[in-house]
Structure 1
Amino acid sequence: MTKLSAQMSNSGGRWHLYVPLMNAATVWPEYDWARRSTVPTLAEREQALSALGYESAPDGEWTWVEDSDTPGDPTSPVRLIAAATIRPSTTGGAA
């Protein structure tokens, strides 16, 4: 079964989940949460993935990295980026 990566980030306030589809001539599947302050829970991430037609892979643990708007500037705002291994839903869906 195909394994892909889902990524989630917060840039400008809202959390945004997307599935980068490399070598595809389609728009990447994406999901936005309306709230701004809290990180989406694991259950909310699974619901978003399901709405897009995906699910976490058995080894699909979320990992986090930091980035910044201005590399090398310690005063630049920090951006959190998460990623997890996913696969097309085994129960059907939008993918």
Structure 2
Amino acid sequence: MKLRHHEVIYLISTQIIEDEIGNQIEQDTERKVYANEFSVSQSEFYNAAVTGMRPSKSFEIYSFEYNGEEKLKHNGVIYRIIRAETRGEKTRITCERVAADG
């Protein structure tokens, strides 16, 4: 059975640009891709917790669509990509929710 990529995620790449007076500013660029969402396995959760990470979501996308982005957005929430595992034409991305500032 083939799964259809029906979840929308936005892969976020960050560039450092300079403003008019030379200040370096991070600028995020979002790119829409379709993905399958998977639950994070218990073993994956506990293995990551040992290193201080808290994986909360996992998505599978086509490998050609992943360009090393470090963040993604799903349903308006920003996540940090903590692992990307490529298996042929598919890449599994595991991410953790980014804590709000403050």
TM-score for both structures, normalised by structure 2: 0.30
**Larger RCO, structures 1/2 (Cα 8 Å, 6+ apart):** 1
- Greater fraction of residues in strand: 2
TM-score for both structures, normalised by structure 1: 0.32
